[in-house]
Amino acid sequence: MKETMLRPGHLLDKDGNLIEEGYCDLPYMTYDRDRCAHGPLRLKEWDYYYVGDKQRGLALTIADNGYMSLSSVSFFDFKERFYHEKAKMGAFPLGRLGLPPSPEKGDASFKRKGFALSFLNGGKERKIAFRIDNFLNRQSLEGELVLRETNPYWMCIATPFEKKGCFYWNCKKNCFKAAGSFRLGVKEYRFDENATGVLDYGRGVWTYRNTWYWASMSDYLEDGRSVGLNLGYGFGKREKATENVLFLDGKAYRLGELSFEIPRDNRGKDAFLSNWKIVSKDGRTSLLFHPLLYRHNDASALIIRSNQNQVFGTFSGTIDIGWEKVELKDAFGFAEKVINRW
């Protein structure tokens, strides 16, 4: 694949199609939801943050999927191999959540009875606040987190689909420095000094059936340098860019096409808690993903279904960037396979 770097300008033409397919390492494309061809009912927009250290993590989402809004908070305890989540859904938000058109600025919030979640973006610093009543065993979950940029670069990709007017504009940022605390009932948790965060900003009109593979990792090498990975594939008509990027000590290095090799059990099903292999076609990326905690959510309603398989664990292996072979040893992150009909 010969990759194409996007030129700054509008993301979509007046008919709602991507003007250009490709990637960029800064989110300088102009996204305008009013240019979408299929109207607000088909448009999907979300901001997803994951914040954590090697003991605990939080995943927080605000999404406007046109016909349905979804806001959720998940708590992960990796030592106890335990997670719990709570979500609120609404009908036909159609853009009323006001999710920002740029990942670099703009706030997002969701508030219902007993459920409040906000993402405040001041530029270099982001603040996340939440309170969920009766989160677990009649205990509330509440907290405030701060994310500070350590890496100026993004993974941004404009992906078309075969169907006209369908596209996905995705910007991800790894290696946020995270701080803050949260409480579950009377018990307080505080992230350690090596806590990190990642943002997944997605905007697009999707086809009905699709599958994606995604892996994300933000951690530190033994020499103290920050390291992050964004790896993914599986949907759309990708001919001019991948989303595979290594972030190392404040710089971004693009990686080649790759695949996730998930073992199968004796029934032919994905064995998500067995070791995965993640390898590139050019042989420069060779990783082993060791699962620790499996989060599964298979939600369906009439013709809509989302089968989510997210696995937290550690990455080990090497990535050759030419002048250096970067070695990962038990770097913490997650990998997932998600199958949607939406």
Query: pLDDT per residue over 30-46, tens digit each?
Result: 999 999 988 888 899 99
Distance between CA atoms of 252 and 261, rounded to whole angstroms?
25
Strand partners, 239: none
Residue 4 counted as domain residue? no
Residue ranges making up the domain that contains 313: 9-341
Q: What is the pTM of this model?
A: 0.96
Residue 342's pLDDT band (cuts 50, 70, 90): confident
Tokens representing 156 are 């941004």
Residue 285 lies in a domain: yes
Half-sphere exposure of 7 (CA within 13 A, CB side): 2
Question: What mean pLDDT comes out for the span 319-330?
Answer: 95
**Two tokens at 273?**
């808690």
Q: What is the pLDDT of residue 21?
A: 97
Round to whole Å and give the CA distance between 95 and 240.
30
Residue 291: inside a domain, yes or no?
yes
> How many domains does the chain divide into?
1
Q: How confident is the model at residue 302, as a pLDDT?
A: 65
The reported pLDDT for the residue numbered 301 is 66
* Domain assignment of residue 2, yes or no: no
Whole-angstrom CA distances from 43 to 55, 93, 205, 223 are 36, 11, 5, 44
Asked, for residue 115, whether it belongs to a domain, the answer is: yes
Q: How confident is the model at residue 9 (pLDDT cuts 50, 70, 90)?
A: very high
Average pLDDT over residues 247-270: 95
Confidence of residue 306 (pLDDT cuts 50, 70, 90): confident
**Token pair for residue 68?**
């349905």
Domain presence at residue 3: no
